[in-house]
Amino acid sequence: MRRIFINYRRQDSEGYVGRLYDHLVQHFDPAGVFMDVDSIEPGADFIHTLRAAVAETDVLLAVIGPNWLTITDEAGQPRLQRADDFVRIEIAAALEQGKLIIPALVGGAKMPPSSALPDDIAALAHRNAVELTHQRFAFDAQQLVEAIKEAVPADPSFKTRPDPQTLRRKEEMLKAVRDDLVNATTSPLYVYRTAQGYFPVPGEGSPDANILFLGESPGKAEAEQGRPFCGPSGEILSELLASIGLQREDVYITNLLLDHPPDNHEPQPDELAFYTPLVDRILDIIQPAVIATLGRFATHYVLGKFDLLERRGKMTDLHGKLIKARMPYGEIHVVPMIHPAVVTYRPTQKAELKRDFQKLKLFV
C-alpha cells in the first residue's frame, strides 16, 4: 500500500485539500492517505509525533495556497517562521528523512523562493511542483496520481512467505553455487585464494530475501572468514540495516567478485567475466524484489545487465533512485547506493547513505 501524507494549512487550502483527498482515495487505499495527525496523546512530544507520522509514509504532498507563506499567528508572526509550526515541522522531517516530496500549488499560488523559507525547509523550493487548478481539477489531480504511482512502487514486497520445501530447494541451489566456486580451478583468483589459505565468499543471508545487497569484492577480513561484509564496511552496513529495522539475516548479502582480489584491486574484466555468471545464478535463486547495489562497479554491472538507460549515469546522480527492471519472475527495483567503505574514509557521507537506506523501507 502506498502511504501519502497531505501537508497543508487549513486557512490556506482546506477546500482544495478536501477535493484532493476525495480524488486520491479513489486511486489509493484510503487507509494509506493521511490528512491530519489524528491525535496527539496528552503529554506527548508533538514534534516527535509529527516526525514519526511522516516517517511512516512514502510521499508528502505539500499543498501550498496563496497565503501559505504569509499567514500569521495571533501575535502577527508568520506561522511558517515559527519553529513549532506543524506545516514546517512535517516538511522539514520529510526532507531530512529523504521522503519523496511533491509541492502542490493551489489557488494560483506560486512556488516560494528558497530565500523566503526557513533554513530547514529551504530545499522545498527545489522540488518540482504540480499545479492544481480550479478549472481543470480532475485532470491536474490525475496527473498527480500518475506521478505518485510512477515514483512509489505499488506493492514492493510482493513476496509471500515461501513454504519450507521452496526454502530447502533454494538452500540446495545456493550450496551448488558455492561448490562450483570452491572447485573452480579456472577462476582468475583461485591460485591466489588457495596460496593465501583464504575462503571463497559466495554470500550469506536469507535464501528468500526481499532485498539483496551486491557489493564489490570481499576484503581480507571477509576472505579469512568466508563471509561478506564482516570487516569495517560490514559494521557500517549492519548499522544501516538496523536503522531500517533489519538484521543481516533478513536480507541477502553478496558481491560482484566472490573471492578477495590481491590488494583489493578493482574488479578486472577477466574476473567480472568469471564471477558475474555465478552472481546471476544467485540472483535467480534468491529472486529479490530489490537489488541494492553498493558502489559503482555493482551498480553499473546490474544496470548494464538490464540494459537500463541509467547505466551510463554517475553514482552522484544515481544513488538513492528506485529504478525499475524486469526479471523473469517479475518487476524488481534496483537501488544504487554509495559503497559503505566510502563512509570509513569520508564519514560525512553516512547521512546520505542513511537517507538512501530509508528508501528500502518501502520493501521491508
Span 327-356, contacts to ligand URA by CB under 6 A = 341
Out of 13, 187, 233, 293, point to the residue binding ligand URA (CB under 6 A).
233
**Of the candidate residues 187, 206, 210, 217, the single one contacting ligand URA (CB under 6 A):** 217
Q: What count of Cα atoms within 13 Å lies in the side-chain half-sphere of residue 159?
A: 20
Task: Give Cβ neighbours of residue 362 (< 8 Å, ≥ 6 apart).
Answer: 58, 152, 153, 156, 322
Q: List beta partners, residue 324.
A: 333
Question: Exactly one of 216, 259, 271, 356 binds ligand URA (CB under 6 A); which one?
Answer: 216
- Candidates 215, 267, 288, 313; binder of ligand URA (CB under 6 A) is 215
Cβ closest to ligand URA, residue 142 vs residue 238: 238
Nearer to ligand URA, 7 or 233 (CB): 233
H or E segment to which residue 259 belongs: none
Q: List the beta strands (DSSP E) in 182-245.
A: 204-205, 211-215
Residue 132: beta bridge partners?
106
Number of helices (H), then strands (E), in the chain: 13, 11
Residue closer to ligand URA (CB basis): 7 or 293: 293
CB of 200 to ligand URA, least distance (A): 12
Neighbouring CB atoms inside 10 A of 210's CB total 22
259 counts as binding ligand URA under rule CB under 6 A: no
Q: Does 222 bind ligand URA (CB under 6 A)?
A: yes
Closer residue to ligand URA in complex, CB, 156/228: 228
For the beta carbon of residue 28, count every other beta carbon within 10 angstroms.
19
**Minimum CB–partner distance for residue 349 and ligand URA (Å):** 15
CB of residue 304 to ligand URA, shortest distance in Å: 18
Of 207 and 295, which CB lies nearer to ligand URA in the complex structure? Answer: 295
Angle formed by the axes of helices 349-360 and 232-243, to 10°?
A: 50
Dihedral sign, Cα of residue 224, residue 226, residue 229, residue 230:
negative
Closest residue to ligand URA using C-beta atoms = 215
Place of cell 506527548: 44
218 part of the interface to ligand URA, by CB under 6 A: yes
In the bound state with ligand URA, the residue whose beta carbon lies nearer, of 61 and 341, is 341
Please say which residue, 90 or 216, places its beta carbon nearer to ligand URA.
216
Per-residue contact flags (x/-) with ligand URA for residues 168 to 207, judged by CB under 6 A: ----------------------------------------
The whole-angstrom separation of Cα 183 and Cα 264 is: 22
| Residue 255 in contact with ligand URA, rule: CB under 6 A | yes
The DSSP result for 37-58, as a single string, is -----TT--HHHHHHHHHHT-S
Contact residues: ligand URA, CB under 6 A: 215-219, 222, 228-229, 231, 233, 255, 341
